Structure 1
Amino acid sequence: MAWASWLAWLACAAAGAAGMLFPRESESREVVALDGIWRFALGGREEVDVGFRQRWYLRELPKWVNGHLAGNHSGGHLPFDLDVTALLEYDAPSLLTVAVNNTLSPHTIPQGFTAYFNDTDMYPPGYSVNDYTFDFFNYAGIHRSVVLHTVPDVFINDITINTKIIGETGVVQFDVSYTISENEVDDEVSCKITLLEESNKAVGEVSLCEGDIMIDKAKFWWPVHMSNSPGHLYLFEVQLNHGQKRKDVYRLPVGIRTIYWNETTVLLNNKPMYMYGFGKHEDSILRGKGLDHTLLVRDYSLIEWIGANSYRTSHYPYAEEALNLADRQGILIIAESPAVNLDNFDSVLLEKHKSVMAEMVNRDKNHPCVIMWSISNEARTQRKEAGPYYKSIVEYVKSLDKKRPVGFVTNRNMYQDKAAPFMDVIGVNRYFSWYSDTGDLELVSRQVEAEYTKWHNVCKKPIFMSEYGADTISGFHQLPSFVWTEDYQVDLLHEHFKAFDNLRKKGFFIGEMVWNFADFATKQSVTRAQGNKKGIFTRERQPKHAAYLLKTRYHHLANEQLKTMTE
């Protein structure tokens, strides 16, 4: 079998509009990981601004194999692949070279800007800094796996799954697309679809490339605490044939579940859903944003320990390995785009934003854990031009996926936000008694309840608190509680819980997500003590005192929800 394509999972690279299947081995496919320590060459300090002067940030990033250009792409957090069949040396080692650039501009997502300092008394000539407004560190490099994988000359290039529930019957709707070589005849291509249980027992089989499979007495995909058997997955097996020959085999885990929504709630399998979890970051003390499977297992272990049922992929798409785990463990995911702190809304950015949304939706569309698309976080949506911009984005995402609600996360005023009217669901970030009325904990419950009630009254949408919290340095204590101490974080969370319980009774409040799961790195600032310290866990993944309070809260909600489901 010939090496057919190079599949790169890079923090700085993104896919095109077509879907791309996660690289899995099968009878017809080989996967070779190129993970490890890459040999990096950094630009010299004397040429620190060469990328700005030559406007690298407007270029596509090139990749070479054995000195030959294989292709390029711009954007981050999402995968892309390149066909390198003709570029490999099959009787000698091959050299793969990737140029990576994390320079941000007003037309990248996320955005940034380059500041030039012209005072030559204080700065060397040509001194410049690439800066940004978002509150996490802008790491550069290859953060996720790079793999070389093979596909046959006739191969499956995409699968789209949608599911329905009719009584106890599950319906899997599928559409398999494929690629054939110029020498092959399309009319001779056929598909055999088999749906398998965990025991490898076939529960459905059809010979179609597009159609339905009906499963009587199906086991539905449920999140944790809404079922005693959460995260149930079937295996969707596609055998692609050309004439009488089997050409390709691909197996995709799928879950059968439905999502509906209205002005007050989101329904999962026709049951009201309440989210309790976190905003997160892909961040750790040793690897930064680098994919770390051990850390991933640790994080999901802590999510289980604390009793959470959900998190938001703030503020960018996470590695697909994280979503694979969420599928299996029954964790609800709000999938968020990299559009954080957008500061202008022109036509160039709009097209880039649409491209990123297409990449994210097409990659993550088949994950049952993904229950909502978040198209941005804390953009400047009070501006007039934000209205038509977000209307266009929402309509575009709905054209890609009609089975999930489209929302965003905002920190603007409900009367001034021009994007909110177009959303199905709205997440609102508020830091009462931290960034406002600092230290006045007695105001928290009153302010939270009033704020989120007004949001629903104005927008008539399901509302959730997507961020709240306080920076907390592990080991700091003071009584009475004082800002930056573990005691203050505990008291602040406790006051929020009072408001959440009142809001839940009103019927439109669908979730509470503390900021943040763990401490994380930011750029250097006098307001950041070695990064953002709002984590419930430290950057090393050890619990602060508030973790035990949150554990009590979340397990209470979990028991309450499971009891409701079994009554």
Structure 2
Amino acid sequence: MSLTLLAAVSIVLMADASPDPDISGGSSEINSAVEDPSPTLLPGLLYPRESESREVKSLDGMWDFLVSPAGHALKGYKEAWYADELSKAGKVMQMPVPSSYNDITTSRELRDHVGAVWYERTFFVPASWREQRVFVRFGSVNYLAQVVTISVQNSTKADVYRLPIGIRTLEWTNTSLLINDRIVYLRGFGRHEDSALRGRGLDLVTMTRDYELLQWVGANAYRTSHYPYSDEVLDMADRLGFLIIDECPSVDTENFSPTLLQRHKDSLSELIRRDKNRPSVIMWSIANEPRTQLPEAENYFKEVAHHTKTLDPSRPITIAIARGSSEDKAGQFLDIISFNRYNSWYQNTGRLDMIIERVVSEAESWHHKYNKPVLMSEYGADTMPGLHELPNYVWSEEYQAEVLSKHFEAFDRLRMRGYFIGEFIWNFADFRTAQTYTRVGGNKKGIFTRDRQPKMAAHLVRRRYHSLNVELDGTELPSDLENYVTFYYSRRSEL
């Protein structure tokens, strides 16, 4: 007689639009790093892989889905929706997992919903799992999540786990980043885990296409803006040899408080715990565009930097800084300075003639102040695919290409100065944002559309990155980099 176990998993996701009073209230004094001299190293976190002793069962598929009423985010907890079938709490719909529920339906309310939602799935547990140690893992859960599931008695049987590894050395000086004793120049993108319909849900088809395009365009690096990416995405980076700036979920950080500081440290502990063994990860980004000009920022980021470097002294740390070098108070604690600036877009719109001098002078000011390597972590311009203007005009494909080209000239001047180590376009592909009059269907700064087709600028970037590959790494140019024009033009291109 065989025994079949039936299990149910309920999960509630919470993305609260209202500020947490403990986080966003008035500023509180942040104590110095002596309070946290030795952060506790978390145990290793292994990605599920099958072996002789391990079996993986996917729960991907259609789940029951229910939205908590607007203004009543805790209704499900108070009424204990998890104690019975979710369908008894209200009219459920079927929602694919993984996916982004905001991108699936035709409902305006669900597209714009920020708050609690509930997922439920009932599944059969194999009889072979009896008295085995069982883990339930949710790989695409974001924001605040709480899981309710049955408990399973664990066993102590012998276990086999195979972890792919890569071996490389990583060093940095006040001017350079070195991998295997070779100076590295980073060229790539800021990205988002985002695509049509799937949203931020893991999509292996989109992931594969993205890596194909990254190789096609000649990039060697990207930043996981602005959160840890899925294990599957980073597994592919490990295999293909991309260089990753791994970023924790800290965006526009301000209103510094002890509660926020602890949550910030916890997020970095979890990130390092998961990704510390990945050869692709060469740098930790501990925040994106925080308010580093504020007086409280100095002690706050002193603590965050100390915490990160105590957990992992083998990798440099950075912040994508949006404030000016003269007012910044966090760069002193970093190993590498990264800065975001949108010349001729958010500042001096249309003034392409100002880009080169402004980029060069700002990078110079960062290096002069901190005597550390500098890279540009964000720059670009929004572009509507198919919009052409001659002469170029903002939002046109010609304008985006010219903005990037001017930056390329600035970067080459900076490379000659010996401390500039990388360029990251914002963004790899267009992505969805909240509705606002400055967005046309989302952020359009990608050199690829949201469905991963190239804009005019993608071909320019491809020529740039592959030319750098030839210059710096000794590779060969792709045979299809240029279309044939005339014999004279082709000979000049070769020279």
1:76 corresponds in structure 2 to none
Q: Which amino acid aligns with 2:307?
A: Y
1:457 corresponds in structure 2 to 368
2:26 corresponds in structure 1 to none
Q: Which amino acid aligns with 1:307?
A: G
- Deviation, structure 1 residue 346: 0.5
| Whole-angstrom distance in 1 between the partners of 2:277 and 2:368 | 34
1:285 corresponds in structure 2 to 196
Higher strand fraction (1 or 2): 1
* Partners of 1:28 and 1:151 within 8 A in 2: no
| Whole-angstrom distance in 2 between the partners of 1:146 and 1:461 | 54
* Partners of 2:187 and 2:221 within 8 A in 1: yes
| Whole-angstrom distance in 2 between the partners of 1:560 and 1:530 | 38
Q: Which amino acid aligns with 1:442?
A: D
TM-aligned CA distance change 1:66 to 1:393, over 3 Å? same
| Whole-angstrom distance in 2 between the partners of 1:491 and 1:525 | 26
* Partners of 1:18 and 1:359 within 8 A in 2: no
Q: Give structure 2 stretches of 5+ with no counterpart.
A: 16-40, 87-96, 102-108, 136-152, 477-495
Residue 255 (structure 1) aligned with residue 277 (structure 2): no
Report the identity percentage. 47
Q: Which amino acid aligns with 1:311?
A: Y
TM-aligned CA distance change 1:263 to 1:137, over 3 Å? farther
Residue 49 (structure 1) aligned with residue 71 (structure 2): yes
Q: Which amino acid aligns with 1:435?
A: Y
Per-residue CA deviations over 1:523-558 (Å, capped at 9, x if unaligned) read 000111110000000001000000000000000011
Q: Secondary structure at the match of 1:252?
A: coil
The structure 2 residue matched to 1:34, chosen from 53, 59, 81, is: 59
Q: Which amino acid aligns with 1:482?
A: Y
* Partners of 2:68 and 2:117 within 8 A in 1: no
2:234 corresponds in structure 1 to 323
Q: Secondary structure at the match of 2:160?
A: strand
- Deviation, structure 1 residue 17: 4.2
Residue 530 (structure 1) aligned with residue 441 (structure 2): yes
* Partners of 2:68 and 2:115 within 8 A in 1: no
| Whole-angstrom distance in 2 between the partners of 1:152 and 1:438 | 65
1:563 corresponds in structure 2 to 474
Higher helix fraction (1 or 2): 2
The structure 2 residue matched to 1:519, chosen from 424, 427, 430, is: 430
Aligned CA-pair RMSD: 3.8
Per-residue CA deviations over 1:52-91 (Å, capped at 9, x if unaligned) read xx699xx9xx9958789xxxxxxxxxxxxxxxxxxxxxxx
- Deviation, structure 1 residue 399: 1.4
The structure 1 residue matched to 2:338, chosen from 427, 430, 434, is: 427
Residue 20 (structure 1) aligned with residue 42 (structure 2): no
The structure 2 residue matched to 1:380, chosen from 283, 291, 294, is: 291
Q: Secondary structure at the match of 1:455?
A: helix
1:440 corresponds in structure 2 to 351
The structure 1 residue matched to 2:392, chosen from 473, 481, 490, is: 481
| Whole-angstrom distance in 2 between the partners of 1:524 and 1:462 | 37
| Whole-angstrom distance in 2 between the partners of 1:445 and 1:305 | 27
TM-aligned CA distance change 1:50 to 1:141, over 3 Å? closer
1:121 corresponds in structure 2 to none
| Whole-angstrom distance in 1 between the partners of 2:389 and 2:443 | 20
1:266 corresponds in structure 2 to 177
TM-aligned CA distance change 1:26 to 1:412, over 3 Å? same
* Partners of 1:279 and 1:311 within 8 A in 2: yes
- Deviation, structure 1 residue 36: 1.0
Q: Secondary structure at the match of 1:511?
A: strand
- Deviation, structure 1 residue 261: 0.9
Superposition map of 1:22-171 within 5 A? 22-44=47-69, 48-51=70-73
1:105 corresponds in structure 2 to none
| Whole-angstrom distance in 1 between the partners of 2:407 and 2:307 | 36
| Whole-angstrom distance in 1 between the partners of 2:368 and 2:469 | 28
Q: Secondary structure at the match of 1:260?
A: strand
Per-residue CA deviations over 1:381-417 (Å, capped at 9, x if unaligned) read 1101111111111111111111111111110011211
| Whole-angstrom distance in 2 between the partners of 1:320 and 1:385 | 34
- The two structures have a TM-score, normalised by structure 1, of 0.65
- Deviation, structure 1 residue 182: 10
- Deviation, structure 1 residue 302: 0.4
* Partners of 1:469 and 1:534 within 8 A in 2: yes
Q: Which amino acid aligns with 1:278?
A: F
* Partners of 1:280 and 1:311 within 8 A in 2: yes
Residue 494 (structure 1) aligned with residue 410 (structure 2): no
| Whole-angstrom distance in 2 between the partners of 1:326 and 1:386 | 33
Count of aligned pairs between the two proteins = 407
Q: Which amino acid aligns with 1:362?
A: R
1:552 corresponds in structure 2 to 463
Per-residue CA deviations over 1:133-163 (Å, capped at 9, x if unaligned) read xxx99798699x999896986899xxxxxxx
| Whole-angstrom distance in 1 between the partners of 2:12 and 2:278 | 20
- Deviation, structure 1 residue 41: 0.9
| Whole-angstrom distance in 2 between the partners of 1:396 and 1:473 | 42
* Partners of 1:433 and 1:439 within 8 A in 2: yes
Per-residue CA deviations over 1:235-282 (Å, capped at 9, x if unaligned) read xxxxxxxxxxx7010000000001111111111111111110000001
| Whole-angstrom distance in 1 between the partners of 2:411 and 2:14 | 38
1:211 corresponds in structure 2 to none
| Whole-angstrom distance in 2 between the partners of 1:278 and 1:321 | 19
Residue 510 (structure 1) aligned with residue 427 (structure 2): no
TM-aligned CA distance change 1:444 to 1:182, over 3 Å? closer
| Whole-angstrom distance in 2 between the partners of 1:137 and 1:471 | 26
- Deviation, structure 1 residue 563: 1.9
Per-residue CA deviations over 1:12-68 (Å, capped at 9, x if unaligned) read 79xx94432101111111110000121101123xxx1122xx699xx9xx9958789
Per-residue CA deviations over 1:103-146 (Å, capped at 9, x if unaligned) read xxxxxxxxxxxxxxxxxxxxxxxxxx9xxxxxx99798699x99
Q: Which amino acid aligns with 1:23?
A: P
TM-aligned CA distance change 1:182 to 1:294, over 3 Å? closer
RCO greater where, 1 or 2, for CA within 8 Å and sep 6 or more? Answer: 2
1:409 corresponds in structure 2 to 320
2:141 corresponds in structure 1 to none
Moved over 6 A (4+): 5-13, 65-68, 136-143, 145-156, 181-184
* Partners of 2:190 and 2:427 within 8 A in 1: yes
